[in-house]
A and B are shown apart, each in its own frame.
Chain A
Amino acid sequence: MFKIKLEQKERVSKREDIIITLSAIGIALVLSGIFIAFNGVNPFVALWKVFTSALGSPYGISETLVKAIPLIFTGLAVGIALNSKLWNIGAEGQLFAGATLATAFVIYGPVLPKPLELTVLVTLGAIGGALWAAIPALLKIKFKMNEVISTLLLNYVAINIADYFLFGPWKGKDNFPYTPEFPVEARFSRIGFGRVHAGLFLALALVVLLYILIYHTKTGYKLRMTGASLKAAKYAGINIKKMMFMVFLLSGALAGLAGVSQISGIEYKFHQHISTGYGYTGIIVAWLARTNPFIIVIFAVFLSIMLKGADSLQIAMRLPAAVGTVMQALILFAILGSELFKNYNIKLIRGK
């Protein structure tokens, strides 16, 4: 018989942290394999297919990148909030709010020259997301309402508002719930690699900017301290309510950009399916990356491989669409479970 001993760790080293996270992902893949096997498909073939379909061809790589773009935005959105220990579960709703506001300009506004038009759309997308995030921020600051619940519930409200426009005033000519196609001026240029569009550069620029903001500015320092301890931050003279509000607005703006990047970069119109849960997957990305913007890029790509791969499994191997969701869930579970190994030393001993 073996027994398991748990001993509390003082702290975890960076190297251990990385090894544990990678092992957790490995375990999640093994568990996904078992799930796939139950569906009557050889898991090795399936997992191989996931990676080859996502990375095995220029087309696959380009499609993976296409999915990574919104994930970078939403990952950054959730991540910046996590930096000050705020949980923004509402990136999905903010994404729709951003897309709705930007679309309103396309439909009701004048058609401007392309650079100007896109600047306006990006700005409006950010504003839409930020406004939507301002609601839970105010509820939290004024009435101490838990932001997990308010942001989550507001997702459904935002999506329903979008539905109102899509089924109402913005309904297309053929009576389907999507807007007419956007004019060329309202579209991001493609960069000459499949459907990959200029939104990628916007996302990457924001990664660098946010890294600088968090680690090299006064605001970033305040943000880190607020996240670490409200009492200490207050003692240091930081206006914590203002910080929370600011972080929420920034987080919402980033999620709103994911919406613009989808409508102007990929779909060229607004409809119900511009996001396949990118706002929620962003939570996994941010949690995996531990709030560092550069690492968010890595995990956004990793999760888009999973998304792209799951699409192919559905088509090529007739696996249910849920496979992708299950894989994401298993990864999140494994990561959450791996916290145990970061907080405790675990020893196996023989005896008794």
Chain B
Amino acid sequence: MSEKKVNSTLVLMKNISKSFYGNKVNTDVEFKLEKGEIHALLGENGAGKTTLMNMLTGVYFPDEGSIYFKGKKITYNYPGEALKIGIGMVHQRFSLVGNLTVLENLILGHPDNKFILDLQKNRKLIQTYMDQFKFQVDLDAVVDELPLGLRQKVEILKMLVRNVDVLIVDEPTTVLTKQEADNLMRILKEIASTGKGIIFITHKMAEVLEVADKITVLRKGILVSTVNKTDTNAGELARMMVGKESELTFERPEVCLTKNFLQVKNLFVNSNKGVLAVNNLSFNLACGEVLGIAGVTGNGQIELANALTGNREVIRGKIIFKDKDIAHDTPVQRIDEGISYVPGDRVNVGVAGSRSVWENLIMKVYRKSEFKRGILIDNKKLKKYAEKIIEKYNIFLPGINLPALLLSGGNLQKLIIGREIERNCDLYIFVFPTRGLDVGATEFVRKSIMNLRNEGKAVLLISGDFDELFALSDRIAVMYEGKFTGVFNNGDHSLEEIGLMMSGHTEAEAVKEMSNV
């Protein structure tokens, strides 16, 4: 790449600054993309990566600075113009029409199809693209029926068919399995080898080191550095991203000995579709203990959490919490009984995004007598309560009256966890608590979980992240098709053995299988 330096620059963004309502989101950022390069844009949530790319694609206009594409200065008139000149972006939330086929999605709005739509011609054309970039998608499949990994391929193909020179992918692996992610990396390399430039927005260092040629690190909207992959390592990148070292070692003193703090007995729960999702499940959870639940998504973990919190009906079985069967209590009763729930879907379930930050912080305490004023509620006192949480948990936000949806992922999770910790419950249920979070926020969440445990709370941790499960759990249970295939002390089994249990082997089978190898 380096020998043809002249005229090989695709994108140059110079001295870019942008603020929203007085918050600087990007300050004097410089960014350069060469032909055939995979350039990772690395930073924590809220570091300004997506905003920077939204300016490159014309969704926002920079307050200051200029953007050059192939040596020419560009100003956009409308967001669609970027795609026209050859800059395409695959967003975190896909923009496909679910009930159309892949082919129909690919040609939807394609500039070559004006009045007459020749499906065969289009099909052939798309096939040549798939051949060129060496990946295949079934063109006649309906998008809604495809797994997320394939839908993403369709998104990428949609950009390629429009002959973009620059392809931007925003946090592409968040929704993918490990295999799908590996496959994606291969495709991205293939695309780059044809001379196109790829910008890869992410906060995962492993991916960056695997796929990127160059890495630009942003922190709080400011450019930290742009480095070649060969000149750096994971430790250095982490330091650049968070500005501090993040090492997690936890002490786990014995704080509480009630083994049967929570007893689940022969629990049956249905899924949304009316299929049995939790199938005759029984387990105990002690206070001062973290029980980690591992498993492939969709094996009944979410239904279990919802049944424990009253958000899903229990068909049969008992949930004995503090010596009382609560299996058929309402959600609000469970809240009052001291059960706290940090849901996996932060944005849609954890908060009401269009309501203000303070209204979201009082979600579970507004009914308490301390906030009563006759038959009214004391808004002033409630706001003060909210402000206290914001200060204590260091939630960064412009004002408590602004809607919660303006918060970045990490700050939103701080809001939710702060809210739940302040309620001082006895049982905490976390579902994918660090999914999609940056290093700093992840550390905050994990420390919070550990503190809860050491204060004698019972914690149920449903997670797909093994670093997390191994770091936090006292015991680990592996869930497969609504049952536990194994429950054991953390450290008793290797990752490989757990992997086997996740695919349906019992604990004994898994150990036997591994010892045969």
Contacts and interface: CB of A to CB of B under 8 A. Distances in A.
B376 interface: yes
Interface stretch (B254-262, B359-367, B484-492): B359-367
Interface string A322-343: 0000000000000000000000
Contacts of B366: 218, 221
Contacts of A212: 376
B330 A237 contact: yes
A352 B78 CA distance: 13
Nearest to A237: B332
A215 B382 CA distance: 12
Interface string A1-40: 0011111101100000000000000000000000000000
Nearest to B366: A221
Interface stretch (B129-137, B221-229, B343-351, B475-483): B343-351
Contacts of B60: 7-8
A228 B354 contact: yes
B248 interface: no
Contact of A224 (B311, B330, B334, B355): B355
A277 B332 CA distance: 42
Interface string A215-259: 111100100110011011111111100000000000000000000
B352 A232 contact: yes
A232 B356 CA distance: 13
Interface string B120-140: 000000000000000000000
B331 A237 contact: yes
B21 interface: yes
Contacts of B330: 237, 239
B204 to A, nearest CB: 27
B363 A225 contact: yes
B377 A232 contact: no
A349 B77 CA distance: 8
Interface residues of A, number: 30
A235 B341 contact: yes
A11 B406 contact: yes
Contacts, number: 88
The interface centre, meaning the residue of B335, B343, B352, B377 with most chain A CB atoms within 10 A of its CB, is: B352
A229 B352 contact: yes
A234 B348 CA distance: 11
B371 to A, nearest CB: 9
B367 A218 contact: yes
B213 to A, nearest CB: 32
B367 A10 contact: no
Interface in B34-53: none
Nearest to A5: B77
Contact of B332 (A229, A231, A239, A349): A239
A212 B377 CA distance: 10
A131 B153 CA distance: 53
A216 B376 contact: yes
B281 interface: no
B251 to A, nearest CB: 33
A218 B378 CA distance: 10
Nearest to B348: A231
A6 B350 contact: no
B403 interface: yes
B61 interface: yes
A238 B349 CA distance: 13
A349 B375 CA distance: 55
Interface string B352-390: 111100011011101100000001110100000000000
Contacts of B406: 10-11
Given A11-B406, A215-B379, A232 B350 contact: yes
A14 to B, nearest CB: 10
B432 interface: no
A289 B235 CA distance: 55
Given A10-B21, A11-B406, A235-B343, A228 B364 contact: no
Given A11-B403, A237-B332, A225 B377 contact: no
A221 B376 contact: no
Contacts of B75: 349
A228 B331 CA distance: 19
Contacts of B375: 217
A8 B379 contact: no
Given A5-B61, A237-B332, 11 more contacts: A10-B406, A218-B377, A224-B355, A228-B352, A228-B354, A229-B354, A232-B353, A233-B352, A235-B343, A235-B363, A237-B331
17 contacts: A5-B77, A5-B78, A7-B60, A7-B61, A11-B21, A11-B402, A11-B403, A11-B406, A217-B376, A218-B366, A229-B353, A231-B345, A232-B349, A232-B351, A232-B352, A233-B352, A237-B330
What 3 A-B pairs come out closest when comparing CB atoms? A237-B332, A228-B352, A229-B352
